[in-house]
Amino acid sequence: MTNPASDKVFTGAVPKLYETHLVPLIFAPYAADLARRVAARSPARVLEIAAGTGVVTRALAQALPPGSALVATDLNAAMLDEARSVGASRPVEWRVADAMTLPFDDASFDAVVCQFGAMFFPDKPRAFAEARRVLVPGGSFFFNVWDRIEENDFAHTVTAALAARYPADPPRFLARTPHGYSDRATIERDLAAGGFDKPAAIATVAARSPAASARIPAIAYCQGTPLRGEIEARDAAGLAEATEAAAAALAARYGAGAIDGRIRAHVVAVER
């Protein structure tokens, strides 16, 4: 099924809310994990695709050997502007680029990295083929994707709360796209279709998602992702109320003070 174009709209207030709320909530631990895996290969030249607001870029800047060159790209200029404004601990070449048609020569990089971006690719084998094309022989492609939404507590609870609020037309962005590419066999098949003929190593990694209050994940998901557009499409003035409904559901399940939930993802490494 083709996901709607709105699933890739990260504009307006979304990039800043994504960086300030979602990054510490769910992305930071996986960024550190992914950067550690990449750095263990001591690559000289690294390309990041779908870099978002730069959480992995910053982790890579800290973890890579001092002489490594780092290029960070994203299709969405607003997200990359946020990443550029936050910056990194070493020079980074920031470029707006589509993972489906990378503007780089063949065999240009020792490693290609993508954190939680593969789910958004409209043609995953094509994007994987592009990652393979720009890798040197023996280079590695690293990426991660979220596991099923049922294994990710806050996203699941927010989705259920919004389904109760909009029963005739439930917003399904979180289940459809971020958590819609979790089947390992499908990932392996798409990698093979993209030209990777070596077996992929796929590790399922669990982590925790702590928040000072239920409002933080409610704001993060309802206002800092394209779920915001789905809510506003159903009720143009209802974003605040929908966010409060999500916060109430989270508080009812996890408590009124600081809360903590499960998150789980698949981490993939495959060699050209």
* pLDDT tens digits, one per residue of 72-86: 999 999 999 999 999
Asked if 206 and 250 touch (Cβ cutoff 8 Å), the reply is no
Pick the CATH number of 5-271 from 3.40.50.300, 3.40.50.2000, 3.40.50.150, 3.40.50.720: 3.40.50.150
Average pLDDT, rounded, for the chain: 95
Could you tell me the pLDDT band of residue 10, with boundaries at 50, 70 and 90?
low
DSSP letter at 5? Answer: G
pLDDT at 131 over 70: yes
Amino acid letter, 67 = G
What tokens does 18 get? 């994504």
Residues facing residue 73 across a β-bridge: 95
Please state the length of the chain. Answer: 272
pLDDT in tens, 147-176: 999 999 999 999 999 999 999 999 999 999
Residue 150: Cβ-neighbour burial (10 angstroms; 0-12, 13-18, 19+): middle
Could you tell me the pLDDT band of residue 143, with boundaries at 50, 70 and 90?
very high
| Structural domain boundaries in the chain | 5-271
Distance CA 205, CA 94 (A): 29
Considering the chain, what percentage of its residues have pLDDT values greater than 90? Answer: 94
Measured CA distances, 56 to 25, 161, 177, 199, 248 (Å):
14, 30, 20, 24, 31
pLDDT in tens, 217-259: 999 999 999 999 999 999 999 999 999 999 999 999 999 999 9
Distance CA 260, CA 215 (A): 12
Could you tell me the pLDDT band of residue 11, with boundaries at 50, 70 and 90?
low
pLDDT computed for residue 6 by the predictor: 52
Distance CA 89, CA 209 (A): 25
Considering the chain, what percentage of its residues have pLDDT values greater than 70? Answer: 96
Distance CA 43, CA 20 (A): 30
